[in-house]
Structure 1
Amino acid sequence: MTCPECAAPLVAFTVPDDVAAHVPEESASLALCSRCLALVASPPPTGAPEFDRVSEAFPEGDAGAAMAVGVGLLDSLALHRTDIEALFSFVEANGYDPLLVVDRLARQGSIQTPIDLDRRRHQLEQLME
């Protein structure tokens, strides 16, 4: 599967129950673009999600799914603030630093998102204090 926005490969994942309430579309599975970080509905994946195709800094398992949804919602912090806070708190509770992941995505040359990730990271830092 490729991204409808930029034609890059997508990373499909099943939405965990703990994350489902924060997904804008009621979908049991989603996919995150490995280049532009777009979040799109997806058919169920056939195996475990390969979040390392997006970044080696990406969490694995349910924390990775929560991080993927959170990153996919960064296009509108104003609309998705509560969901992003909850998702990133879930990631943090599972032993990962979501702000560090966003920071690494911002510095990764293969990520080409229309969002200014450096600026968004700063906003997230203030939001999560």
Structure 2
Amino acid sequence: MQCPECDGDVLVVAVPDELRGYLPSDPDTVAVCERCLTTTPVDGPATDDAAAVAALSTELPSAPETALSVAVFVTLCGSLALHRAEIEKLVSRIEHAGVDPLSALDRLGADPAFDLALDVERRRTQLTQLLD
């Protein structure tokens, strides 16, 4: 399977119950792009685990579920207007895990391993306004 956003390779991981509500259609499984970090709901069983997501970059949190939360956050940031409520809740969840989501977004945007599907500088400004 390839990423529908950039045709990159993907990891197919199970979505923990606590994260399902943040994604459209509450999927059991998502594909996480190894290039743009976009998450896409998929049908079928997981073939990778969340630890593989955390291993994509040293800029991702080492805790697998938090790394997956950050990937979901990156995806939702693609449409702030549609996902405002989910973003606000997910930011709180990520912060609770000890990670600054905006700093994580900055680091991921600067990581040469990724080509995120959003303009990080522009989104960061908008997120700062949204989250104040």
Both structures adopt the same fold (TM-score exceeding 0.5): yes
Structure 2: gaps spanning 5 or more residues:
none
Which is further off, 83-92 or 54-63?
54-63
Q: Describe the SS at the equivalent of 1:24.
A: coil
Query: How far did 1:47 drift?
Result: 4.0
Aligned to 2:103: 100
Q: So what's the TM-score if we normalise by structure 1?
A: 0.85
Structure 1: gaps spanning 5 or more residues:
none
The answer to whether the Cα contact below 8 Å between 2:37 and 2:74 also exists between their aligned partners in 1 is yes
Task: Give the distance between the partners of 1:54 and 1:124, measured in 2 at CA.
Answer: 24
Percent sequence identity is 37
Task: Give the distance between the partners of 2:103 and 2:45, measured in 1 at CA.
Answer: 28
Query: How far did 1:45 drift?
Result: 2.2
Task: Give the distance between the partners of 1:96 and 1:11, measured in 2 at CA.
Answer: 22
The answer to whether the Cα contact below 8 Å between 1:16 and 1:65 also exists between their aligned partners in 2 is no
Which is further off, 30-39 or 79-88?
30-39
Q: Describe the SS at the equivalent of 1:73.
A: helix
Aligned to 1:74: 77
Aligned to 1:20: 20
CA RMSD, Structure 1 to Structure 2 (Å): 1.9
In the alignment, is residue 45 of structure 1 matched against residue 46 of structure 2? yes
Q: Describe the SS at the equivalent of 2:71.
A: helix
Q: Describe the SS at the equivalent of 2:95.
A: helix
Cα deviation per residue 1:77-120 (whole Å; 9 max; x = unaligned)? 11101101111211110111111110011112232234211111
Task: Give the distance between the partners of 1:13 and 1:71, measured in 2 at CA.
Answer: 16
Task: Give the distance between the partners of 2:39 and 2:49, measured in 1 at CA.
Answer: 17
Aligned to 2:92: 89
Aligned to 1:33: 33
Cα–Cα, structure 1 residues 11 and 97, in superposed 2: closer, same or farther, change >3 Å?
farther
Amino acid at match of 2:38: A
Q: So what's the TM-score if we normalise by structure 2?
A: 0.83
Task: Give the distance between the partners of 2:29 and 2:23, measured in 1 at CA.
Answer: 10
Aligned to 1:63: 66
